[in-house]
Amino acid sequence: MLKQLNQQDLFRLLEQLAISFQLLVPQTLVDGTRGLLPWNGSQTSMSGEPLQRKPTALFFPQTDHLVHLGSDGMAATPAGSDKPLALCGLNREDLAGIAFIDRFFAAQPADDIYLKKRTAALIIGLTGYVGREQQFQPLAEGQCDFELIADQQHWLAVAYTESGKHWLADYPDGPEDVLQLLRETSRGIASQHEQAVKRASRLLQAEQVPDSFWEEISARCIRCGGCNFACPTCTCFCVQDRKTINGIERSRIWDSCQLDAFMREASGHNPMGTELLRTRRRIHHKLVDDPQRWGETGCILCGRCDRACPTGIGMFAICDEIVSRFDR
């Protein structure tokens, strides 16, 4: 289904969505970055730099209350929100991130806390001329309920699910030829980072990267955990139990495999007790294990770890370094 919306249509659509969903749209935050926040009926920031926070955090938050165990022996799960989430404004990489962790949390045994939020949610992609200074952003062509594509004058809307079709049903059909042109533009964009990540992945799988490299890289790690916390495909968590007035609350919180305690044994021995081992393992997971398991890397090319790393050893930086040194 292809539709065409003008600016008024878009606002009408958002108004309609806000009745059924807790609608989050991109907005400019105080410091000038963009983030997904509840729509207030008027403000949106539909174009600009990528969203600062990974959207996967809305389904798998940094602190996620799981269950409250009352002193009376009763267990209660959090009530949850009245309305399901609708996330508007995700680019191709953000959508890939959600799709990646969907697969993880949906795998048996399924994670019902995650799925409860996720399955009821509506996901809206946002691509086309919506980058910084209206730069073109590649089309998603899936991985969402519907995709809003900005051409130079209108919004094209492509539905991929029944839900997506339902919400777009009232709007006029869009021009197929314009969509085709946008698709061609999108496919013509060569991602330099994508090439480097794929080549680095192949080199790692072929065991072409020696430990001395990881020693160098890990010597620059300051153990902030930012690479994990910023990564949309990182799903590791630990469990925290806390006393409340009338029982204990169990939550899961984001973990980081760059931390020493991540794999430390109760004895105190740590099979991953150095930054070298941990850094190598983290990158191997994304670029060696994930391709073997899922047929794709665990890096969805969003660049967040490169932005979050204070010392310049994010995924793109590491892959560039691997390629420049070991790709013969």
Partner 1 sequence: MKATLTTCPYCGTGCNFYLLSDAAGQLTGIEPAGKHSASRGQLCLKGWNAHAFVHHSDRLTSPLIKQNGKFHPCDWDSALTTIHQRLKQIANSYGPDSLMFFSSAKVSNEENYLLMKLARAGFGTNNIDHCARLCHSSTVTGLVETLGSGAMTNSLSCFDATDLVFVIGSNTTEQHPLIGSRILLAQQRGTKLIVADSRKIRLTEHADLHLRHQNGSDVALINGMMRQILLDGMENREFIAQRTENIEALRQSLVPFSPEYVARITGLEDQQIITAARAYAQARSAMIVYAMGITQHSHGVDNVRALSNLALLTGNLGRPGTGINPLRGQNNVQGACDMGALPDVYSGYQKVADTKSRLKFSQAWEKALPENPGMMATQAIEAAAAGKIRGMLILGENPMLSEANQTLVKQALNNLDFLAVIDIFPTETAQFADLVLPAACYAERDGTFTSTERRVQRGRKGIDPPGQAWPDWQILCALLQRCGIKADYNSPADVMDEIAKLTPSYAGIDYTRLENGEGLQWPCPDSQHPGTPILHREQCTRGKGHFSPTNYRPPKELPDATYPLLLSTGRTAVHWHTGSMTRRSHLLDREEPGAFAEINPEDARSLNIRERQRINVSSRRGEIQVKAKLTDRVPPGQVFIPFHFAKGAANVLTNNALDPESGIPEFKVCAVRVTPC
What is the binding site for partner 1 (CB under 8 A)? 22, 24, 29-33, 35, 37-38, 52-53, 57, 61-63, 81, 219-220, 222-226, 229, 238, 240, 242-245, 253-256, 259-261, 268, 307-312
Element (H, E) at 70: strand 63-70
Residue 18 CB, nearest approach to partner 1 (Å): 13
Residue number, 243 or 328, with CB nearest to partner 1 = 243
Instruction: Show the tokens assigned to 323.
Output: 């390629």
Residue 175 CB, nearest approach to partner 1 (Å): 36
CA distances from 109 to 53, 104, 105, 263, 289 (A): 28, 10, 8, 23, 20
Amino acid present at 80: G
Instruction: Show the tokens assigned to 301.
Output: 């090319």
Residue number, 154 or 278, with CB nearest to partner 1 = 278
Query: Buried b vs exposed e over 143-167: b needs ≥16 C-beta within 10 Å?
Result: bbbbbbbbbeebbbbbbbeebbeeb
Amino acid present at 232: P
Residue number, 41 or 175, with CB nearest to partner 1 = 41
DSSP state of 219: T
Half-sphere exposure of 11 (CA within 13 A, CB side): 8
Residue 294 CB, nearest approach to partner 1 (Å): 27
Residue 90 CB, nearest approach to partner 1 (Å): 16
Residue number, 215 or 289, with CB nearest to partner 1 = 215
CB 89 within 8 A of CB 124: yes
Give 108-159 as a DSSP string. Answer: SSP-HHHHHHHHT-EEEEEEES-SGGG--B----SSSSEEEEE-SSSEEEEE
Residue 64 CB, nearest approach to partner 1 (Å): 8
Give 80-101 as a DSSP string. Answer: --SS-EEEEEE-HHHHHHHHHH
Residue number, 206 or 248, with CB nearest to partner 1 = 248
Residue number, 159 or 276, with CB nearest to partner 1 = 276
Residue 230 CB, nearest approach to partner 1 (Å): 8
Residue number, 27 or 233, with CB nearest to partner 1 = 27
Cα angle value 221/224/230 (rounded, 5°)? 105
Residue number, 135 or 244, with CB nearest to partner 1 = 244
Residue 225 CB, nearest approach to partner 1 (Å): 5
The Cα 124–Cα 5 span in angstroms is 14
Residue 50 CB, nearest approach to partner 1 (Å): 10
